[in-house]
Amino acid sequence: MRLPRDELLTKARHPVGLAALLDLAEVVLRTWQPTWSAFVDAPLQEEALERLSSLSELAWQRDGGHPGAERCRMLCHRRDQPVELPPPIQGLLIEGNFLFDPISPDDLRSALHSMGAEPHDLGDLWVRGDRGGQGLISPSAAEHLQGRRGQLRDVEIHCDVLEITQLQLPAQRNPKRLTTVEASCRVDAIASAGFGMSRSKVVSQIKAGRLRLNWEPVRQGSRELKVGDRLQLQDRGSLELLSCTLTKRERWRIELMRR
């Protein structure tokens, strides 16, 4: 079976990543062996599931090591083939003293890259107080990083591989439906109401690059949202705009799903 690659890649938002998943799919079709992809980010996962679900011979699953993971590995297998293949994911402890120099997950990721870890071998990373962070990585990255020392700015860091069960995974939020009435459907108004913070705090999160719209960094708080748009705020979960209805008083009744 030959896949309709040109059709599947036409006007793709993430053509390079999607092409790599198509390469994986062709191997699975040829060998009949279910196979996990490298770690891929959430926008590519969503586009892949949307476009590749039309392939009747194949099925896809994703797993990032914990239920709320953004970066996941994708399992491709024949649809009629039972699959019991755990995801090849291990835990990582990244220790360092950041009491006077707070860090972000992006800082951790950059430090691991500088230590030789490939981007596609790194899943989610998160900060644990002022002592460093934890994360989810591939077995090959685990082998490379085990016991290795590196530098994050002026702080020495040390890596140790753990089982996922030994990690302090990020807290999972139960989905919650919210209703609010706002003067507009602007990013800053909806983020303020949905995440429970002031407009000025939202602006500071935008400037710090922590607020994203449909997985892309938000540049302007004045941007108008539409139904189906999603906001993601680092360490605070996500919001989905379910409805936006104009009231008799010329204000907007907004329904949100917070996760």
pLDDT (tens, 9 = 90+) of the chain, 259 residues, equals 678 999 999 999 999 999 999 999 999 999 999 999 999 999 999 999 999 988 989 999 999 999 889 999 999 999 988 888 999 999 999 999 999 888 999 999 999 999 999 999 999 999 999 999 999 999 999 999 999 999 999 999 999 999 999 999 988 788 999 999 999 999 999 999 999 999 999 999 999 888 999 988 898 999 999 999 999 997 788 999 999 999 999 999 999 999 8
Residue 104 belongs to a domain: yes
What are the start-end ranges of the E strands in 17-174? 35-40, 58-63, 72-78, 90-95, 122-127, 132-137, 149-152, 155-162
The pLDDT assigned to 236 comes to: 84
The pLDDT assigned to 1 comes to: 64
**Which of 25, 57, 78 is at the close of a domain?**
78
**Which of 50, 78, 106 is at the close of a domain?**
78
| pTM given for the model | 0.84
**Which of 16, 50, 78 is at the close of a domain?**
78
Number of domains in the chain: 3
| Whether 161 contacts 202, CB under 8 Å | no
Task: State which residues form the domain around 27.
Answer: 5-78
CA dihedral (255, 72, 156, 133) positive or negative: positive
- Strand ordering across the sheet containing 35-40: 35-40, 72-78, 58-63
